[in-house]
Structure formats: structure tokens, C-alpha cells
Amino acid sequence: MCYPSIHLESHRFWSKVNPAPSDLCWEWLAGKFREGYGSFSRQGKPIGAHRVAYLLTKGEIPDGFLIRHTCDNPCCCNPNHLVLGTRRDNLNDALSRNRLSNRTPGSGNFSEAAYTSTPRQMCVHFRASICEYCGETTTTVQPLKRYCSRRCKELARQKRRRDDRQQTQPSTQSDD
């Protein structure tokens, strides 16, 4: 995505960053997205602060690519901690750093669509959930869920009711 004249806003952007030595994170001091990523407003539209830091220091971000943090700190704007990558690279980072699941891509736990969606459709935080009823693993950007679907939730509720009824019913077997 092209951001013409972004360099004109360089001073305004860097005034919202707390610079530190080059090996430490440079924290974004202004507004943030819910996920913790810095939010920089340009022409009334929010842009990820880490993306702007990359644009200002390293150049354009090609279509189909995103900016990854090597430090795992979403509000970091240190250009030394920002690298260009794909959605697959980002998911592999999450797996290798135990931010997702210990299951590997391609093992049936992740849909191929997760790797091929465009960066605009991509969300930045993934969580793995295992359904308590059927055991299916799902990845989501929402809070962790106990069940993969309403059906599993209802079936689990029915099973709990049956189990509770069986435990509270008096034993019908007689001791001989």
C-alpha cells in the first residue's frame, strides 16, 4: 500500500515515540489499537505505528506483505526490531515463540485460507482454542472459546445435565 507524502508527517510521528538505545524497544506513546499496536492517524485514517516506522526508515511495504516485530512488543516502533514478512512468516513466528499452539501448520489444525488471505483481512493476534466437547482446534482472534460452535456448546450442556441426573438418581441395583 502506498502512503504518499508520509515523509511530511515524519516529525509528528517521531514525536510520539520514546526513543531508547537501538537494541531496546522504542515504545509508542500515543493512541493504540485494542491489540496493543500503536495507532497513527493519517488523513483521518488509522495506520499501525510500526508500519509507519518501517515506511519512514526502510521504504515501501509491497502488497501481500506485513511488518513483523522481532521483539514481540506490539507497541515497539524501533526500526531495528521491524522486518518485512508474509502472513505465513508471522504465523511461523507465533508458533516458534509459543504464542499460538504447539501444533504445526499443515497438520490439519490450520486452514489454508489462514495463509492465503490478504494482509487487510489478517488480524494480528491469534489464539488457539480446543473445543471441550469435540476436541477440534480452532485459531481465532477472539477471546479463547471453550467450544468451537453453538452445537458443541449445546451438546456439552445436555451431556452435563445427563451426567448430573445420573449422579443424583438413587441406585436401582440391589446388593445380593
pLDDT at 49: 94
CA separation for the pair 142, 45 (Å, rounded): 23
Whole-model pTM: value is 0.55
Q: CA 46, 85, 144: angle at the middle one, nearest 5?
A: 70
Report if residue 91 sits inside a domain: no
The number of beta carbons lying within 10 Å of the beta carbon of residue 158 is 10
- Whether residue 23 contacts residue 80, with contact meaning beta carbons closer than 8 Å, is answered with yes
Report if residue 25 sits inside a domain: yes
pLDDT at 95: 82
User: Is 24 in the same domain as 80?
Assistant: yes
User: Is 74 in the same domain as 104?
Assistant: no
Burial (Cβ within 10 Å: 0-12, 13-18, ≥19) of residue 63: exposed
pLDDT at 153: 77
Report if residue 62 sits inside a domain: yes
pLDDT at 116: 42
Q: What is the pLDDT along the chain (176 residues), one digit of tens a residue?
A: 455 455 568 889 999 999 888 889 999 999 999 889 999 988 788 999 999 999 999 999 999 899 999 998 999 999 999 999 998 888 888 888 877 644 444 444 444 444 444 333 333 344 555 656 566 655 554 444 565 667 777 877 888 888 888 888 766 555 55
Total domain count for the chain? Answer: 2
Distance of CA 24 to the CA centre of its chain: 22
User: Is 75 in the same domain as 13?
Assistant: yes
Q: Residue 135 to residues 95, 116, 145, 160: CA-CA distances in angstroms?
A: 20, 25, 12, 16
pLDDT at 131: 59
User: Is 32 in the same domain as 78?
Assistant: yes
Residue 142 belongs to what domain range?
A: 99-157
User: Is 110 in the same domain as 60?
Assistant: no
User: Is 52 in the same domain as 104?
Assistant: no
